[in-house]
C-alpha cells in the first residue's frame, strides 16, 4: 500500500511512457516489414510462374553470371511514415540495380558468355557464279525430254499497255490505271525472260489482279511464235526512255556531270519513238504540250513520270531520271536527265536489246547470279509437272529452291522427276517422286512397268 513510483529509482530507458512509445514504434516497424516481405513473396511467386524461375530466383537454363531480371522496391507513398521509408531504403540496398521509375521486373541487357560454343561457329560461305544452263543435244532431248519455253515479256507489255488505254477512260478505274503503269515499268525493267504468266506474280510491284489477263493473253497460242521486237528495239516507253537519254548523253559533246546532262522534252520524245518497235503500238504520237496537260492520262508518258517519281520507283532502286522546269531551254519548259541509278540500268537494257530476242529456255530457273561453292558445278533439272504443275504447287516448290539458293531449271522431262547435270554432262542419278495416288495411277495406266 505504501508503494509508489516516487520511491523507485528508474533509469531513463525504464520510463513507462517512453517504453510504451518505443514498443509501439517497434511493432509498427515490424508490421511494415512483414507486409513488404509478404508482398515481395507474392510478386516473386508470380514471376516464377511467368518466367520459369527456380528457387534461387534465376531463369532456368540461363547463364548464372547473367542477371536477367532484378526485383525493385515498391514506390513510396507521399505520406509514408519514417518506418516505411527506412524499410524502402533497406530494400534499395538489397537491389542496387533497381530503378524507382521502372516496373516490378526490369529486364537487364543479356550478354552471353564469351566461351559460348555457338559464337564463331558459322562462317560466311564463298560464292561462285551460278552454273550455266546445261546445253542438251537434240538426241539427248529426244531421249529424256527437255522442252524449252519462249520469252513472253513483250506479249505481256503489249497487253498491259492496251489494258491501260481502256482503263483511263473511266474515273473510277484510275487506281487500276496507275497499277497497270507500275506493272509495265516493273516488267520492262526486269532483266530475265518471263516464260509464263505465273512468273509475273513473283515480281514485286506487278499487280496480282493482272494475272488472269496475262494468262488469257497466251492461252491458245501453243505452237505459235510469240511476239518479239527487233534487235535494239523496245515494246514500251520506260526502257526506251532510259536508253534514249543514255545515247543522248553519249552523243553530247559536253562531259556528263554527276547528275547527268539534261535534254529538252521534245528531243526526248523523238528519240524514244526511234527506239520503239512500231508493231508494239506504243509510240508517243502527241505533242509535248498535250502530254503536260494534267488531265491527259497517256500510258506512254505516264511511264516517264513513274521513272522520275521517288515513290513509284523506290522498290526498283529508283528514281532513274530527273525532271526540271526551265522555261528558256525549250518550248515545253521541261528538261530531263539520267541519274546514276538510271544510267546503270540503261546500259544493261541496251545490252539485252542489242542481243535480240531471248532464246527459248527453261520454264523457270534460279534468279541469283551466284551460289554457294558447295554446289560446285551441279544443276538440278525438275519436271514441269512436279507438284501438280504451274497451276498448283510447282511454283511454290521453286520458291523454296530460290530461298535456299539451289541451282535448278524446270523443263519437260520424260524419264524422271529430277535429273542432275555436272556441267554439260548428265549424272547417273534419276529421282522419281511419287505419292500413293500417283503410284496407283501409274499401275492403272501401265506407266509403272516402264518407270520402275
Is 345 within 8 Å of 189 (Cβ atoms)? yes
- Whole-angstrom Cα distance, residue 338 to residue 271? 14
Task: Render pLDDT for 287-330 as a digit per residue (tens, 0 to 9).
Answer: 888 999 888 889 999 999 999 988 766 677 889 999 999 888 88
Which set of grid coordinates corresponds to residue 144?
529424256
pLDDT at 131 over 70: yes
The helix (H) or strand (E) run that includes residue 431 is strand 425-431
The single-letter DSSP state of residue 411 is: E
pLDDT the model gives residue 85: 53
Which pLDDT band holds residue 160 (cuts at 50, 70, 90)? very high
pLDDT at 205 over 90: no
Which pLDDT band holds residue 15 (cuts at 50, 70, 90)? low
Read off the pLDDT of each residue in 322-351 and give the average, rounded to a whole number. Answer: 91
- Parallel, antiparallel or unpaired: strands 127-129 and 105-107: unpaired
**How many other C-beta atoms are found inside a 10 Å radius of the C-beta of residue 347?**
12
pLDDT at 241 over 90: yes
Of the candidates 147, 53, 85, the residue with the CA atom closest to the CA atom of residue 411: 147
pLDDT the model gives residue 220: 67
CA angle 117, 122, 125 (to 5 degrees): 165
Largest alpha-carbon pair distance within the chain? 137
Task: Render pLDDT for 395-427 as a digit per residue (tens, 0 to 9).
Answer: 888 889 988 999 999 988 888 889 999 988 889
Read off the pLDDT of each residue in 263-268 and give the average, rounded to a whole number. Answer: 93
pLDDT the model gives residue 258: 42
Task: Render pLDDT for 20-41 as a digit per residue (tens, 0 to 9).
Answer: 666 777 777 676 666 666 665 5
**3-class SS of residue 289:** helix
- Whole-angstrom Cα distance, residue 263 to residue 251? 12
pLDDT the model gives residue 54: 47
Strand partners, 69: 107
Read off the pLDDT of each residue in 363-388 and give the average, rounded to a whole number. Answer: 87
- Whole-angstrom Cα distance, residue 445 to residue 180? 46
Which pLDDT band holds residue 353 (cuts at 50, 70, 90)? very high
Q: Mean pLDDT lowest for which of 142-151, 350-359, 418-427?
A: 142-151
Is 210 within 8 Å of 241 (Cβ atoms)? no
pLDDT the model gives residue 58: 46
Which pLDDT band holds residue 198 (cuts at 50, 70, 90)? confident
Read off the pLDDT of each residue in 241-262 and give the average, rounded to a whole number. Answer: 76
Which residues neighbour 206 within 8 Å (Cβ) at sequence distance 6 or greater? 183, 186, 187, 200
pLDDT the model gives residue 432: 85
**How many other C-beta atoms are found inside a 10 Å radius of the C-beta of residue 67?**
14
Cα distances (Å, whole numbers) of residue 64 to 18, 67, 110, 247: 50, 7, 11, 67
**3-class SS of residue 441:** helix
Which set of grid coordinates corresponds to residue 79?
505520406
pLDDT the model gives residue 271: 95
Which residues neighbour 182 within 8 Å (Cβ) at sequence distance 6 or greater? 205, 207, 306, 312
pLDDT the model gives residue 87: 53
- When mean pLDDT is compared over 12-16, 103-107, 143-147, 236-240, the highest value belongs to 236-240
163: left (phi over 0), alpha (psi -120 to 50) or beta: alpha
Which pLDDT band holds residue 113 (cuts at 50, 70, 90)? very low
Which pLDDT band holds residue 222 (cuts at 50, 70, 90)? low
Which pLDDT band holds residue 278 (cuts at 50, 70, 90)? very high
**3-class SS of residue 419:** strand
Q: Mean pLDDT lowest for which of 76-85, 275-284, 331-340?
A: 76-85
In this structure, what are the phi and psi dihedrals at residue 290, rounded to the nearest 5 degrees? Answer: -70, -35
Amino acid at each position: 500500500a505504501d508503494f509508489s513510483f516516487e520511491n523507485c529509482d528508474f533509469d531513463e530507458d525504464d520510463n513507462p511512457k517512453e517504453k510504451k512509445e518505443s514498443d509501439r514504434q517497434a511493432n509498427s516497424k515490424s508490421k511494415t516489414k512483414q507486409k513488404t516481405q509478404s508482398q515481395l513473396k507474392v510478386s516473386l511467386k508470380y514471376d516464377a510462374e511467368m518466367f520459369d524461375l527456380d528457387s534461387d530466383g534465376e531463369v532456368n537454363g540461363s547463364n548464372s553470371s547473367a542477371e536477367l531480371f532484378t526485383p525493385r522496391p515498391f514506390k513510396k507513398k507521399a505520406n509514408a511514415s519514417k518506418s516505411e521509408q527506412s524499410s524502402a531504403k533497406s530494400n534499395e540496398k538489397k537491389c542496387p540495380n533497381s530503378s524507382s521509375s521502372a516496373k516490378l521486373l526490369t529486364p537487364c541487357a543479356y550478354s552471353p558468355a564469351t566461351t559460348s560454343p555457338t559464337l564463331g561457329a558459322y562462317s560466311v560461305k564463298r560464292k561462285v557464279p551460278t552454273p550455266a544452263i546445261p546445253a542438251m543435244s537434240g538426241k539427248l532431248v529426244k531421249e529424256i525430254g527437255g522442252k524449252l519455253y519462249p520469252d513472253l515479256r513483250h506479249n505481256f507489255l503489249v497487253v498491259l499497255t492496251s489494258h491501260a488505254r481502256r482503263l483511263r477512260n473511266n474515273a473510277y478505274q484510275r487506281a487500276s490505271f496507275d497499277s497497270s503503269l507500275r506493272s509495265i515499268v516493273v516488267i520492262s525493267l526486269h532483266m530475265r525472260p518471263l516464260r509464263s504468266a505465273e512468273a509475273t506474280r513473283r515480281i514485286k510491284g506487278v499487280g496480282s489482279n493482272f494475272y488472269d489477263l496475262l494468262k488469257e493473253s497466251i492461252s491458245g497460242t501453243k505452237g505459235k511464235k510469240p511476239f518479239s521486237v527487233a534487235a535494239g528495239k523496245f515494246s514500251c516507253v520506260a526502257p526506251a526512255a532510259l536508253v534514249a537519254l543514255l545515247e543522248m548523253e553519249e552523243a553530247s559533246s559536253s562531259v556528263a556531270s554527276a547528275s547527268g546532262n539534261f535534254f529538252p522534252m521534245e528531243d526526248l520524245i523523238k528519240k524514244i519513238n526511234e527506239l520503239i518497235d512500231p508493231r508494239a503500238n506504243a509510240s508517243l504520237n502527241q505533242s509535248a504540250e498535250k502530254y503536260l496537260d494534267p488531265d491527259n492520262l497517256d500510258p506512254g508518258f505516264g511511264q516517264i513520270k513513274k521513272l522520275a517519281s521517288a515513290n513509284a520507283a523506290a522498290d526498283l532502286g529508283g528514281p532513274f531520271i530527273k525532271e526540271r522546269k526551265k522555261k528558256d531551254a525549250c518550248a515545253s519548259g521541261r528538261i530531263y536527265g539520267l541519274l546514276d541509278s538510271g544510267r546503270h540500268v540503261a546500259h544493261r537494257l541496251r545490252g539485252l536489246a542489242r542481243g535480240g530476242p531471248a532464246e527459248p529456255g527453261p520454264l523457270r530457273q534460279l534468279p541469283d547470279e551466284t551460289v554457294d561453292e558447295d554446289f560446285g558445278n551441279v544443276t538440278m533439272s525438275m519436271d514441269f509437272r512436279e507438284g501438280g504443275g504451274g497451276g498448283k504447287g510447282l511454283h511454290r516448290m521453286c520458291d523454296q529452291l530460290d530461298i535456299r539458293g539451289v541451282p535448278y531449271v524446270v523443263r519437260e522431262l520424260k524419264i524422271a522427276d529430277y535429273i542432275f547435270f555436272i556441267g554439260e554432262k548428265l549424272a547417273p542419278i534419276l529421282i522419281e517422286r511419287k505419292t500413293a495416288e500417283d503410284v496407283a495411277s501409274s499401275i492403272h495406266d501401265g506407266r509403272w512397268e516402264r518407270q520402275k
